[in-house]
């Protein structure tokens, strides 16, 4: 959770970059995140531990799956809140001017912040996919050990 808060703060700081991403880009990225999240949750829900006889191993695997599931839920929820809050902002607040002097203007464009957080979310989801794949490979290895005994 601390990493997500730090990432959100960094993304807000990056909103000082003078860019304005196209709205459709943000929508497409959020749609991609929705697909990644739903596929991940289906992989987690489809897990079947009935072939695992070792109770300690089964408990360890369940704990790992619950941790991965919680990671997916937390990052998707944070991303959704970030995206929805941005979407509800009136146009007058989409860009906030912090300082304006002569020819210098310092402002935040919240769409850059949202873009950065969406990209961060995609990276975290992919990282969690890799963890999930590693977990499934570990399960296969343990099942193979039990079978060969």
Question: What pLDDT, on the 0 to 100 scale, is given for residue 149?
Answer: 63
Q: What is the largest CA-CA distance in the chain?
A: 78
**CB-CB contact of 132 with 40 (8 Å):** yes
* Residue 91 included in any domain: yes
* Residue 98 included in any domain: yes
Specify the number of domains making up the chain.
Answer: 1
| Residue 62 confidence class, pLDDT cut points 50, 70, 90 | confident
* Residue 10 included in any domain: no
- Count Cβ atoms below 10 Å from residue 124 Cβ, excluding itself: 22
* 3-class secondary structure, 95: strand
Closest to 96 (Cα-Cα) out of 5, 18, 38, 8: 18
* Residue 71 included in any domain: yes
DSSP, res 29? H
* Residue 49 included in any domain: yes
* Residue 8 included in any domain: no
Question: What pLDDT, on the 0 to 100 scale, is given for residue 21?
Answer: 78
Average pLDDT over residues 126-147: 82
Tell me the C-alpha distance between 47 and 124, whole Å.
21
Q: Domain residues for 123?
A: 23-148
| Residue 48 confidence class, pLDDT cut points 50, 70, 90 | confident
* Residue 13 included in any domain: no
* Residue 74 included in any domain: yes
- Count Cβ atoms below 10 Å from residue 53 Cβ, excluding itself: 10
Only one residue has tokens 């509800």, namely 88
Q: What is the mean pLDDT of the chain?
A: 81
Average pLDDT over residues 116-145: 85
């Amino acid at each position: 959770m601390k990493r997500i808060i730090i990432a959100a703060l960094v993304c807000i700081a990056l909103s000082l970059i003078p860019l304005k991403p196209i709205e459709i880009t943000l929508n497409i990225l959020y749609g991609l995140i929705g697909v990644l999240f739903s596929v991940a949750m289906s992989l987690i829900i489809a897990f079947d531990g009935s072939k695992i006889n070792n109770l300690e191993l089964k408990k360890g695997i369940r704990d790992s799956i619950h941790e991965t599931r919680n990671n997916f839920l937390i990052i998707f929820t944070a991303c959704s809140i970030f995206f929805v809050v941005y979407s509800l902002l009136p146009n007058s607040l989409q860009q906030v001017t912090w300082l304006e002097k002569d020819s210098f203007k310092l402002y935040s464009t919240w769409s850059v912040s949202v873009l950065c957080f969406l990209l961060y979310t995609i990276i975290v989801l992919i990282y969690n996919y890799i963890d999930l794949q590693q977990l499934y490979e570990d399960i296969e290895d343990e099942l193979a050990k039990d079978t060969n005994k």
